[in-house]
Amino acid sequence: MTDLNSQVSQLRATLSKMEMALGKVEECIVWTDVQGRIKWCNAALARFLEQPNLLLLGSLLVTKLPLLQDGHPIAANEHPVILALETQQGGKQCYEFMRAEQCLILEIAWSFVAISENLTTADDASSAVLVIRDVTQQRLAEAKLKETNEALEQLVAQRTQELLTANTRLETEAQHLQQTLVELKQTQSQLIQAEKMSGLGQLVAGIAHEINNPVNFIHGNLIHLQKATEGLLNLVNLYETVFPEPTLEMQTVAEDLDLEFLRHDLPKLMRSMHAGTDRIREIVLSLRNFSRMDEAQLKAVDVHEGIESTLLILQHRLTPKFSQTPIEVVRDYGCLPLVECYPGQLNQVFMNILANAIDAIEDQMRSQPPTAQSPHRITIQTSVIDANWLQIAIANTGAVIPADIQSLIFNPFFTTKPIGKGTGMGMAISYQIIAEKHQGKIECRSNPEQETTFTIRLPIQQKLQHAQIINQSPNLSRVVKHLDECERTPIASTVSFQLS
Residues 105/132, Cβ–Cβ less than 8 Å: no
**Tell me, which fold does domain 297-467 have in CATH?**
Heat Shock Protein 90 (3.30.565)
342-372: pLDDT as tens digits: 888 888 889 889 988 888 888 877 777 666 5
d(CA 249, CA 185): 83
At 74 the pLDDT is 92
Instruction: Say whether pLDDT at 382 is over 90.
Output: yes
Q: How many CB atoms lie within 10 A of CB 431?
A: 21
pLDDT band, very low/low/confident/very high, at 458 (cuts 50, 70, 90)? very high
Domain ranges of the chain: 2-134, 297-467
Task: Return the CA Rg of the chain.
Answer: 45
Greater pLDDT, 55 or 2: 55
Tens of pLDDT, residues 292-319 = 544 557 888 899 988 988 888 788 888 7
Distance CA 202, CA 207 (A): 9
Q: Which pLDDT band, with edges at 50, 70 and 90, does 278 fall under?
A: confident
Question: pTM for this one?
Answer: 0.43
Other CB atoms within 10 Å distance of the CB of residue 211: 15
Our CA dihedral for 17, 22, 24, 29, rounded to 10 degrees, sits at -160
CATH number for the domain formed by residue range(s) 2-134: 3.30.450.20
